[in-house]
Amino acid sequence: MINRRSLFKALAAGGMAAALPRGAEAMSSSSVGAAPAAAGILFNAADYGARGDGKADATGAIQKALDAAARRGGGVVLLPAGRYRVDASLYVPSSVALEGVFKGPVSHGGHALRVQAHKSARPEKRIAPLGTLLLVTGGHGKEDAAPTITVAGNAVLAGVTIYHPNQNPNAVPVEYPWAISMLAANATVSNVELLNPWRGIRAVKAHRHLIRNVTGQPLRTGILVDEIYDIGRIEDVHFNPWWSHHHSVLEFMYRHGESFVFGRSDWEYVFNTFSFGYGIGYRFIEGKTGACNGNFLGIGADGSRHACVVEQSQMPGLLITNGEFVSFDYLHLGDVDPIQVVVKPSNKGPARFVNCAFWGLSKQIARHNGPGTLGFGDCTFCQWDASQPAVEALAGRLLVRGCEFQQRGPQIRLHQAVKQAVITGNIAVGTWQIANAIKRRAHIGLNSSGS
């Protein structure tokens, strides 16, 4: 193995290029920065008949380009700016990337996509360029149909907007199949806008998946993760109702929508994610082969009915840090009871919230009814219904340490079925109101109250 001193001697004696490995020597040539020109590396879907006029079905032509890249051992299939109608399903093979023009996250208002530019309109009245836009028409009303785009292992989907033009922005949404399915290890989805799919991204058996820079308004489910046995990563995702603000759409999402759903996943890493207006922000379920454990940092859910619902978690638990959660009846429906954190009777594993903030006019901050442990450390509880305890434990174990209760009213209630509780080092406005039905099984102390 060459050491650092020998390397510098070689560079001085024989020149830089002589000492570099073969790949690095190629990178030092004057061609650095130029697009690869060799056949089998770059494929333009337009060369295979893909028309970006939004009229002709482009599915077959795009698939021809993808298959051609796969036959050459891999490559990048470019989709230039345009509107590509997709009536069927696409498959991105291993070692192939399907790429539109976007190199970062984008967002479009639904009204812009519905505008039809007329040839006689003044230039400033014509619709602005919208990048690479996939107009999905296939699968209308068929939730169980094949996904629109399937991304194989070691394959990439990037730089496109996925739009369902036949979804009515002024009515209850209609079912469609998954927009994207990731089905094997090391699949990547990045810089993709899910403008208005029924369901967004499904990552099942897609170990080490990477989902990054994804935006949009998935209507029923944003991202589903399940059967993952090696670390998956979800980063910088933002779901917001840009496509439609119509009450029928927003009410459907608030009553039925789920932005992030986690089944079995061993060490899921989730970073900088956000959703607004979904019934459930983050839902943790028992999948076919088990539940989730993972690291959730800088996550948020606003305008939710329940920011987090824990139905099951693995014994290492859910590690949620720097979260911002806002649950309230923002549509003034009147028949809902927003609760920030709901732990179901089925949950056996721990769920820990550290340095998180909870606000909004929710009924309660947390309702814990499972045999596992629910913990809050250095959290801020801003608002809740003063007729209810902020945190209520009906079973299991409860830890509340170093937290701040910012309004007057009952803070904690421990029901008789609770096994253990530690409530220490907290501060509250007004007097402490802790209902303790488990007596000496609870350790309560060093809590400060004041105005």
Residue 5: pLDDT over 80: no
Q: What's the mean pLDDT in 409-415?
A: 98
Exposure on the CB side of residue 158, measured as CA atoms within 13 A: 19
Q: What's the mean pLDDT in 298-326?
A: 99
Digit-coded pLDDT (tens) for 150-176: 999 999 999 999 999 999 999 999 999
Tell me what pLDDT residue 129 has. 54
Do 199 and 180 meet the contact criterion of CB atoms below 8 Å apart? no
Which parts of 20-108 are beta strand (E)?
Answer: 42-44, 53-57, 75-78, 82-86, 90-92, 96-99
Query: In degrees, to the nearest 5, what angle opens at C-alpha 332 toward C-alphas 330 and 334?
Result: 125
Tell me what pLDDT residue 113 has. 61
Domain boundaries, the chain: 41-351+358-369
Do 223 and 244 meet the contact criterion of CB atoms below 8 Å apart? no
Comparing CA positions, the residue from 349, 351, 343 lying closest to residue 311 is 343
Q: Which two tokens stand for residue 55?
A: 């009229």
Tell me what pLDDT residue 112 has. 59
Helix or strand holding residue 233 (H, E): strand 233-239
Residue 123: pLDDT over 60: no
**Tell me, which fold does domain 41-351+358-369 have in CATH?**
Pectate Lyase C-like (2.160.20)
Residue 221: pLDDT over 50: yes
Residue 400: pLDDT over 80: yes
Tell me what pLDDT residue 125 has. 42
User: What is the C-alpha to C-alpha distance for residues 236 and 422, in angstroms, rounded to an integer?
Assistant: 35
Q: What are phi and psi of 126, to 5 degrees?
A: -75, 155
Residue 191: pLDDT over 90: yes
